[in-house]
Structure 1
Amino acid sequence: MAKKVSMAGIFPPIPTPFDAAEELDLKALAGNIEKWNKTPIHGYVVLGSNGEMTYLSEAEKLKVYETARKHIAPGKLMMAGCGCESTHSSIQLTKQAAAIGADVALFISPCYYKSKMDNAALIDYYTRLADASPIPVSVYNFPANTGIDMTAELVIKLSQHPNIAAVKESGGNVVKMGE
């Protein structure tokens, strides 16, 4: 099982900058992180939805992870977006992110076959990821983008797994978050 991490605090989702030719602008990413390091945030969400994760190739994702890890200040955590449509691909990307230095893996629900993503399928997906991940896992609920809205009961059940450390809730339902 992965080491425990404290997920208390503020973890902003950071954008991935591109140049005019639509290539990654890793110099701008590094500069942004160095500026944000001067703030009291506790860590960064790298390659979440704002980070354009779904649009990048695997090689580009690895470059973003490497650049972010190199420039994130000591003591600040890196939560790396590692969710792919396939469980196998998600696990492989997570292992690479962990080797680069990610502290937590963030997994959005696979949604291409969203009509098949019932609670049992989501429990299986997240459990398999958490079992295989060398780093703690964060479940990511973003119904506007995935068409899947995890219930509070499902999130509570998933949170019982010893390697699931956090939930990134982007549904906007404050009442559900209170549950």
Structure 2
Amino acid sequence: MRKLSGVMPALVTPFDAAGQIDFPAFKAHLTALRAAGVSGWVPCGSSGEYNLMTDAERDSVLQFVRDFALPSETLIAGTNAPSTAGVIANTLRAKAMGYHAVLLAVPFYTKPTQAEIINHFNTVTSTTEMDVVLYSYPGKDGVEIGYEALDALANNPHIIGIKESSGVLQRAIGISTRYAGRIQLVSGSDDIAWDFMYWGADSWICGPANCMAKPVCEMDAAFRAGDHARAKAIMTAIWPAMNVLESGKFVQKLKYGCALQGQPVGDCRMPFGPLTEAEKAEFAAAMQVVITWK
């Protein structure tokens, strides 16, 4: 099983003024994140607006990140689609590019049963022979990858982890203890990431890393060095910004946070709307501790 560790940003996708993918801005963004200490890359997730891109655009993003990555950096591609056949097709293209794993939520718009979830993921892994990090986000998908499904999938050697984004700490504890050695717990509830680390998450697929990479990477490094107090102090310092992020318009705020630090990545595509001036002011105030981070 591939060991997942460190902070892996769930990457935003930069767009230029014409709404096209801005690859020079993307390179600058990735370069800054690498300098901050990230351990890998997760393009074409929900933070990357994958559902607002064509298949060709998604492939171009995956290939760009693949070409940028160093051999030591973990590559996890978002290959979600509404159907199992679509997920398989996307996953095979990512595999051909050289990705190590894919990040998969349940197929959207379907709200599948637990039995259907089991069949879906088993079909994807048996067809592609690709490692999968599950993505459980019931607040967005309308259904949880529950213990019934996880019990059935835990011995599938290609199911290597789960990004748990329910925001429920009891779920993180349950997953960590129930599937130890079989399914790796991946932090996906950013505002309680320290708690996830305490309960065994050794990796963090982190949307906020786009705009606060230095403190989140320092937090991760402090925790794995055994300085839990320092890690908790960093979490305390950045929690207000995390909390504002989680209050709505998450992707728009990620991109605005990048701009606040002199690393513009453009606006979001419709139907995402712009932040109001009040929303900008609230997030800018919460981000001051990040902007002035030493």
Q: Same fold (TM over 0.5)?
A: yes
Shift of 1:9: 2.4
For residues 150 and 62 of structure 1, the distance between their equivalents in structure 2, rounded to whole angstroms, comes to 27
Match in the other structure for 2:113: 118
Instruction: Specify which of 158, 175, 178 is matched with residue 173 of structure 2.
Output: 178
The runs of 5 or more residues in structure 2 that have no matched partner are 175-294
Aligned to 2:37: 40
Partners of 1:132 and 1:37 in 2: CA distance: 33
The secondary structure found in structure 2 opposite 1:112 is: coil
Kept in 2: contact 1:152–1:177 (CA 8 A): no
Q: 1:139 aligns to what?
A: 134
Kindly provide the amino acid, as one letter, of the partner of residue 130 in structure 2. Answer: I
- One-letter amino acid of the structure 2 residue matched with residue 74 of structure 1: P
CA offset at residue 153 of structure 1?
A: 4.2
> In structure 2, how many angstroms separate the alpha carbons of the residues matched to 1:173 and 1:143?
11
Picking from 20, 24, 28, the partner of 1:27 is 24
For 1:17-166, what aligned pairs fall within 5 Å after superposition?
17-114=14-111, 117-166=112-161
Deviations 1:76-123 (A, max 9, x none): 111100011111111111111111121111111113121xx1110000
Sequence identity, in percent? 28
**Higher-helix-fraction structure:** 2
- Tell me which moved more, 61-70 or 11-20: 11-20
Structure of higher CA gyration radius? 2
Q: How large is the Cα RMSD of the aligned pairs?
A: 1.4
Give the stretch that moved more between structures: 157-166 or 62-71: 157-166
Q: Is the 8 A contact 1:79 1:103 kept in 2?
A: yes
Q: Which range moved further: 37-46 or 58-67? A: 37-46
| Stretches of 4+ aligned residues off by more than 6 angstroms | none
What is the number of residues matched between the two proteins? 174
* Structure 1 unaligned residues grouped into runs of 5+: none
State the match for 2:195 in structure 1.
none
> For the residues of structure 2 that align with 1:135 and 1:81, how far apart are their CA atoms?
12
